[in-house]
Amino acid sequence: MAFIDVVVARQAIFDAELDVVGYELLFRSLKADTPRPLDGDLMTTSVLYSSMNIGIERLVGDKLIFCNADRGLLLGEVPITLPPERTVIEVLETVTPDAAILAGCRRIAAAGYRLALDDFLWFPGAEELLSIASIVKLDLRLVTVDELVVLIEQCRRFPVQLLAEKIETEDELNLCLSLGFDYLQGYALARPRTVGGRSVGTVNLGKLQLAASLVTNDFEIADLEEIVRTEPGMAYQLLQLASIGSREGMRREVRTLRDALIFVGFRKVQNWIALLLLGPAGQISEHQLATALTRARMCEVLAADLGQNQSALGFTAGILSAFEILLGLPADEIRDSLPLDDSLREAAFGDSTPIGRIVRDVIAYQAGATSGPRRSPVTDRAIDLASIGAITWAVAASRTMSTAVAA
């Protein structure tokens, strides 16, 4: 099978006017026999992985994202693949706020993320965390009403917003509104809802070795680009991640895989690729993989005659056009799910540009139309030669994934 199922739950968070302002993302397992409790970092990794595959827009729309963080994420061992301007990182109550954690929290806050303290109860030294945090979550199930009032007074000494969670009755909701909470969450307002999706998995060969190498070694941009070029599922998610936007919230238009690598940042991409490689297992059939890589390579070669920098655009357009067969999604859904540069969108899914016409001709060629007429000026001989070379490269690229790190 080419696909793996991904799933994540979300629970709405409301403001004092009872409008939805965000969603907390929650771990859900597809396996009934998943042991409990799971390691917090593993659950966070699963949530991040599933969120990227399902798509942030589909999952939360334009609302805030609240995501739990265990020690590994706070220390930078688990990469955060969510947009900082829209993401609230919840520091779990089980995390000991030692010097390393406090430094990690400051680093995350400096990167533009907001920090929330989950299930907060006062403890000696809480002032340091409160000075970094933006939101404090108070669990109504953990305190009495009198204790809740005291906690609110303690927290109000700091520039934080207060979120009441585990609100289960209308009386509790009215109490929290009267106490001036900024945000509200609980069954009385909305229960968690599971959102599922489909994901295209990465090639299994050499995943563990490659992931280890990515975590421990520095890679040149060309090396990272080559890894992504041979992994269609990874390329799709990299384009999603790169197009999310900067800290200021502006969505970015991506033209090539190298653009995506530059936008996201090399080191972050290395960790992110390792995360994907070690994520839930899935397979693309050899035939599907070869078809996608061959198409992209043919487009790259044939686009070279159009001028400087057109080869890279041709490759990316070719691989995007192949996502339809790899993801099992309609081409228009793929086209609309990625905020791409207009020229790339048209090249991958249209036929009004020179590269777009080349992509359409390559698709037709792979479907059996080995001779004209064609949309582009590509000759029969040129497309035949491009096909021969591309097939050879695609086979070699697949093998490289199993041997790249072992060499």
Confidence bin at 322 (pLDDT 50/70/90): confident
- Which percentage of the chain shows pLDDT scores above 70? 67
How far separated are the first and last CA of the chain, in Å rounded? Answer: 29
Q: What is the pLDDT of residues 42-97, one digit of tens each?
A: 666 666 656 655 667 667 878 999 988 888 888 887 767 678 888 999 999 888 99
- Give the confidence band of 209 by pLDDT, cuts at 50, 70, 90: very low
Two tokens at 336?
């609309």
Question: What are the DSSP E strand ranges found in 151-192?
Answer: 161-165, 183-184
Task: Please answer whether residues 219 and 266 qualify as being in contact, where contact means their C-beta atoms are separated by less than 8 angstroms.
Answer: yes
- Between the alpha carbon of residue 162 and those of residues 62, 85, 94, 128, 226, the distances in Å are 21, 19, 19, 17, 46
- The predicted structure's pLDDT at residue 407: 35
Q: Which residues contact 151 (CB under 8 A, 6 or more apart)?
A: 120, 121, 122, 138, 143
Per-domain boundaries in the chain = 3-196, 201-407
In the chain, % of residues over pLDDT 90: 32
Least confident of 22-36, 137-151, 241-255, 321-335: 241-255
Any idea which residue has 């609980």 for tokens? 186
Residue 74, both tokens: 């706070």
Choose the CATH number for 3-196 among 3.40.50.1000, 2.60.40.10, 3.20.20.450, 3.40.50.620.
3.20.20.450
Q: What pLDDT digit, counting tens, does each position of 256-267 carry?
A: 888 877 776 665
Written as one letter, the residue type at 219 is F
Give the other-Cβ count within 10 Å of 164's Cβ: 24
CATH code of domain 201-407: 1.10.3210
- For the entire predicted model, the pTM comes to 0.57
pLDDT of res. 54: 60
CA distance 267 to 148: 43
pLDDT at 147: 95
Q: Cα separation of 81 and 47, whole Å?
A: 10
Residue 98 has φ and ψ, to the nearest 5°, of -80, -175
- Residues sharing a CB contact under 8 Å with residue 398, sequence separation 6 or more, in sequence order: 203, 205, 230, 286, 289, 290, 293
Higher per-residue confidence, 217 vs 357:
357
